[in-house]
Chains A and B, each alone.
Chain A
Amino acid sequence: MKEINLYTTDEASLVGRCKSNDPQAQQALYYAYADDMLLLCLRYVVNQEDAREVLMDAFFSFYKNIGSFSYNGEGSVKAWLKKIVVNQCLMHLRKRTTFAASAKDAADYADTSGGEEILAALAAKEILKRIQALPDEFRTVFNLFVFEGKSHKEIGALLEIPENTSKSHLHRAKTMLQKQLSQAYC
């Protein structure tokens, strides 16, 4: 497998060359970020085949729309690419999952924290497996809240669900995860 060292090539100039549809620059960026982005896809999409397809579509979209991207320093490419990948994952999930559920006025869901010590003790691969085992709608809200740092309001807008439903899904995801992790740990 070819390894392309991104650090020997200025990322800003790579972006510039990608805007001119330079295949070598495109390849360099692909090799730099494909692994991380595929791991991100696997958190949302679970199935490896589907995740690879979503990743392909995401990178395709990334290169096609790179003309509208302004390089803002280190990390800006990854951040923008991450947004595209997450959106692509959500589009894929929307085809097979209905996120909507009716909900009344906001209820204060008690904090389900605690369990950090279990998380710290378990292997990362084990945690990923447990996250992947969550139902689609819970896992999606969980990923958006915990890893993407979205608020329930933002999640509601993204998934077109009430804010309350987002809170409920997160609560249930955490409860399920905590239960599974406790069983795995014990």
Chain B
Amino acid sequence: MEKDYNQVLNEKMNLLPVREVLQGFDKDAEWSLLASRLHPVQRQQRPFRRLWAAAALLLLLVGTGAWFFSTLRPATDRQVVGVMAGDWVSMVYTPPAPTHTDVIAATALDMPEHQQSSTSIIKEGPPAPQITLATEPAVVHHTGEYICNATPCPIEICIIQKPRCPGMQNKAVATCSILQPDQQGQIKYKAIARNAPGCRLEVEEIRIRRVTTGETIVLTNHSGNVTARELFDYMTGNEKSSIVAGAFDVDCNNECNRHSLTIGNGMGSLLLQ
């Protein structure tokens, strides 16, 4: 199949209307230029070159002489300009006061209920601060399928899960990974430890952030088009084909206006594009 595609393209390129595509290409003029490079003609030195060099030297000498003359003149002829000792004003650099940066809520569960009901896009200039969440003894690190970032921008994926274990304080746990363009990495998330029966782990939220712009797609299990659980199923291979996770308004390289983000394994490997 690959050969057919390449063959068709090669055959097509052989049919290019050369004169039309190369309009404005003056072969005679180009050859003249090339010929002059291949067979340079010895040029006579310009007679004026020496004259210019002499003039420059003379100017330098005159200028130097004038400077010496002016500095060696008696002091009474000069006006003293300057600051006397004791008059110096010290300049101390005062760094600007640090600006207050609001820390984004750790999970959507902290958000008011009305905000939990839809997929939200958080717009922010600088990158979000690192969020450290509680770790539970019942959950363990787990690595799953390989995902490739086939977008032109670095992407951070955070999977936020909450263990539901009887008799334990259940705090959300987050696992984040950053993928550079064309980088492939294993999806990391949490699983229930073997020695914690009766526990289950639920995907509460998935955040996909464009690292350079800070724009973040936040999916919860109340999101409208795609829920966090659904997206998680595609990422882990439980569901096949592809799903649109959301859309970014700002592209990291300012090339597109609105760019939707798709995660899918419909082409044989898990791609973020």
B16 in contact with A128 (CB, 8 Å): yes
A142 to chain B, nearest CB (A): 9
Residue of A nearest to B20 (CB): A125
Chain A residues within an 8 Å CB radius of B167: none
Say yes or no for B18: interface residue by CB 8 A criterion: yes
Chain A residues within an 8 Å CB radius of B180: 101-102
B9 in contact with A39 (CB, 8 Å): no
Binds B, one of A6-14, A70-78, A80-88, A164-172: A164-172
B13 in contact with A124 (CB, 8 Å): yes
The SS class assigned to the A binding surface is helix
Say yes or no for A26: interface residue by CB 8 A criterion: yes
B31 in contact with A103 (CB, 8 Å): no
Chain A residues within an 8 Å CB radius of B12: 119-120, 122, 124, 127
B183 to chain A, nearest CB (A): 5
B22 in contact with A35 (CB, 8 Å): yes
Question: Contact partner of A109 among B13, B37, B269, CB < 8 A?
Answer: B269
A127 in contact with B9 (CB, 8 Å): yes
B269 to chain A, nearest CB (A): 5
Greatest chain A CB density within 10 A among B150, B182, B184 is at B182
A165 to chain B, nearest CB (A): 5
Chain B residues within an 8 Å CB radius of A34: 27, 30-31
Interface size of A in residues (CB-CB distance below 8 Å): 57
Say yes or no for A182: interface residue by CB 8 A criterion: no
Question: Contact partner of A104 among B2, B27, B146, B267, CB < 8 A?
Answer: B146
A147 in contact with B9 (CB, 8 Å): yes
Say yes or no for B159: interface residue by CB 8 A criterion: no
Chain A residues within an 8 Å CB radius of B6: 145-147, 149
A113 in contact with B2 (CB, 8 Å): yes
Chain B residues within an 8 Å CB radius of A39: 13, 16, 18, 21-22
Chain A residues within an 8 Å CB radius of B27: 1, 30-31, 34-35
B31 in contact with A30 (CB, 8 Å): yes
Say yes or no for A112: interface residue by CB 8 A criterion: yes
A52 in contact with B30 (CB, 8 Å): yes
Q: How far is the CA of A164 from the CA of B31 in the complex (A)?
A: 41
A52 in contact with B25 (CB, 8 Å): yes
Residue of B nearest to A149 (CB): B6
Say yes or no for B54: interface residue by CB 8 A criterion: no
B31 in contact with A112 (CB, 8 Å): no
Residue of B nearest to A146 (CB): B6
Residue of A nearest to B26 (CB): A1
B269 in contact with A125 (CB, 8 Å): no
Chain B residues within an 8 Å CB radius of A48: 24-25
A2 in contact with B28 (CB, 8 Å): yes
B182 in contact with A102 (CB, 8 Å): yes
Known: A107-B146, A164-B184. A113 touches B30 (CB 8 A): no
Q: How far is the CA of A107 from the CA of B269 in the complex (A)?
A: 7
A111 in contact with B182 (CB, 8 Å): no
Q: How far is the CA of A105 from the CA of B38 in the complex (A)?
A: 48
Say yes or no for B181: interface residue by CB 8 A criterion: yes
Q: How far is the CA of A43 from the CA of B181 in the complex (A)?
A: 24
Q: How far is the CA of A178 from the CA of B37 in the complex (A)?
A: 42
Say yes or no for A60: interface residue by CB 8 A criterion: yes
Known: A125-B17, A171-B150. A102 touches B183 (CB 8 A): yes
Question: Contact partner of A146 among B9, B16, B28, CB < 8 A?
Answer: B9
A104 in contact with B21 (CB, 8 Å): no
B38 in contact with A23 (CB, 8 Å): yes
> What string of 1s and 0s marks CB contacts (under 8 Å) between A2-31 and chain B?
100000000000000000010100110011
B38 to chain A, nearest CB (A): 6
Chain A residues within an 8 Å CB radius of B1: 111, 113-114
Can you list 28 residue pairs at the A/B interface with Cβ under 8 Å? Answer: A1-B26, A1-B28, A21-B38, A21-B39, A23-B35, A26-B35, A26-B38, A30-B31, A31-B31, A35-B27, A39-B18, A52-B25, A52-B30, A59-B34, A101-B181, A103-B182, A107-B146, A110-B269, A115-B5, A116-B8, A119-B5, A119-B9, A124-B15, A124-B17, A127-B12, A145-B6, A146-B6, A146-B10
> A-B pairs with the 10 shortest C-beta distances?
A110-B268, A101-B182, A110-B267, A113-B1, A104-B184, A168-B182, A124-B16, A124-B15, A107-B269, A116-B8
